[in-house]
Each structure stands twice: as C-alpha cells, then as structure tokens.
C-alpha cells in the first residue's frame, strides 16, 4: 500500500481514512499490511452486512490512530513491526471493542508491541486474546490489585508464601481511590473468577462455584456465583496490565 492515508474495505462506496499525521507510524506497526488488515475485517461477514462491516472498520481505524498517537507522544517515531501472531488477534479484537473504557488498553497493547526500546513494556502474543475476555469491571479490579501490589514493593514475590491477599473491601477502597465507582458485589465476584481463570490473578481462598445452568449443566438459570475469597495479581497479570498501559516517553 502506498503511503497515502486511505484504505478501502472492498465494499462499494465505503472509504476509511487514516490521519496523515499518524499514517506512517501505523504503516510501520503493521509492516505495510494496512490494506490487508482492513480487507480482513471487511470480508469477515461477507456481503449484505455493510453496517457491521463498516462499524468494525471504524473501530479498527480509531484504535490504530490511537496506538500511533501514543507512539508519537512517547517519542517512538520509528516503531518496529508487530509480529503477525500478535497483530492478527489484535485486529480481530480491536475491531469489535465498543466499550470506551477499554479502548486505551487496546491502543496501548499495540503501541507497546511495536516499542523497540529495551526499557519498554514487554508484550506477549497471548495478551490480545486475553484482552478480548476482559470487561470494564475486570479492568478496574486488575488495576486496583496492581496498585495494591505496587504500594508494598518489598512484599512482592513473597505474597503467596505469607498468604497476604487483598479482600473485597481493600479492592473496593482501591477502586474508589482511583476515581471509579466500585462494581456490585456480584460483579466483583464474577471479575475475580474471570481474572483467576485467565491466569492474571491467583486465589488465596477456596472458589465456590454454585448454581446450575451454564455451570452445572442444568436448564435453570445459574445461582449467584462466589469467587475466590481473596485474590492477588500474578506476575503474568502485572506484565499484562503494564502492556495495556500507554508507553512512557
């Protein structure tokens, strides 16, 4: 693709524009595969579903521009190409993420994946797939656990040994200090279950999985679920959280 600022989605009459100020950075992040990236999204649903295809293309455009702008703000004028094993799932996930609370995480993940500096945040090919399973409440809980863990630097690495795991009250307090409204108790339990399932947190108490339906195989709606009594962000979870934050200058 030439270094102009346009890419088509192969659907009649639709044209997606990449801002000229960030177009070259986007091209470097995608290794010149921008047109193929738009084509992959554009063909995902076939003909006759133009609205959904165009929405995905616009989401992808916004996330690409956001990632490129993060690179520019961090002084990363010459990012390295992002590996296809990371780029492909990133394109798939970023093009369907409509929650504004998670947009920065998607943009940061791509920007960090293209950061050539040794001191930059490390990115793993699994992170894009994990981010697809994260919702806004999980983001709040993970950030709270990251902050709690960072406040006591000297205890990191021995938390699992001594059994110091933040409880629900500590998590609620940390989320409030961050300026967010804490999730409901039921949503907090679900977030704890999901973060533990994804390997981003480790649990310090027994997980109780009651109910039927999706969890028990029956036809009745599941009963309220209880998550681990206490959880702690894992080393893998810290790396994931840091990779989903804007790269520093």
d(CA 15, CA 58): 10
Per-residue tokens: 65: 């521009």
Mean pLDDT for each 10-residue chunk of the chain (249 residues)?
A: 42 54 82 65 53 85 94 93 92 94 98 93 94 97 94 56 74 95 94 96 66 42 60 95 96
- Nearest to 30, CA basis, from 72, 75, 60: 60
Strand-pair category, 201-203 with 6-8: unpaired
Give the C-alpha separation, 72 to 28, whole Å.
12
Q: For 82-92, b where at least 16 C-beta lie within 10 A, e where not — what string?
A: beeebbbbbbb
Model confidence pLDDT, tens digit, residues 110-123: 999 999 998 888 89
Inter-CA distances, 123 with 14, 34, 112, 199, Å? 33, 21, 7, 16
**Cα–Cα distance between 223 and 25 in angstroms, integer?**
49
User: Helix or strand or coil: residue 52?
Assistant: helix
pTM of the model: 0.80
In the chain, what is the greatest distance between 2 CA atoms, to the nearest angstrom? 62
- Directed axis angle between helix 185-197 and helix 136-151, to 10°? 80
Computed from CA positions of residues 155, 207, 234, 243, in that sequence, does the dihedral angle turn out positive or negative?
Answer: negative
Measured between its terminal Cα atoms, the distance across the chain in Å is 30
Pair type for strands 231-233 and 15-17 = unpaired
Q: How many Cα atoms sit within 13 Å of 197 on the Cβ side? A: 13
Residue 208's φ and ψ, nearest 5 degrees, are -105, 115
**Token couple for 22:** 């960030």
The residue written with tokens 């894992």 in the block is 234
């Amino acid at each position: 693709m030439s270094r102009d600022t346009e890419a088509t989605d192969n659907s009649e009459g639709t044209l997606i524009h990449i801002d000229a100020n960030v177009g070259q950075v986007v091209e470097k992040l995608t290794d010149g595969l921008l047109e193929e990236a738009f084509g992959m999204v554009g063909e995902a649903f076939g003909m006759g579903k133009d609205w959904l295809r165009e929405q995905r293309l616009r989401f992808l455009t916004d996330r690409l521009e956001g990632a490129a702008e993060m690179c520019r703000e961090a002084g990363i004028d010459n990012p390295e190409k992002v590996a296809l094993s990371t780029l492909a799932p990133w394109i798939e996930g970023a093009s369907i993420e409509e929650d504004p609370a998670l947009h920065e995480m998607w943009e940061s993940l791509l920007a960090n994946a293209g950061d050539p500096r040794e001191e930059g945040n490390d990115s793993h090919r699994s992170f894009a797939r994990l981010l697809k399973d994260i919702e806004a409440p999980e983001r709040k809980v993970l950030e709270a656990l990251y902050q709690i863990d960072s406040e006591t630097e000297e205890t990191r690495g021995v938390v699992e040994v001594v059994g110091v795991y933040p409880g629900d009250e500590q998590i609620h307090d940390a989320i409030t200090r961050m300026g967010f409204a804490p999730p409901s108790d039921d949503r907090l339990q679900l977030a704890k279950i999901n973060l533990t399932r994804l390997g981003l947190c480790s649990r310090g108490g027994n997980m109780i999985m009651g109910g039927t339906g999706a969890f028990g195989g029956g036809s009745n709606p599941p009963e309220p679920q209880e998550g681990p009594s206490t959880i702690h962000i894992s080393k893998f979870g810290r790396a994931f959280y840091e990779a989903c934050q804007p790269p520093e200058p």
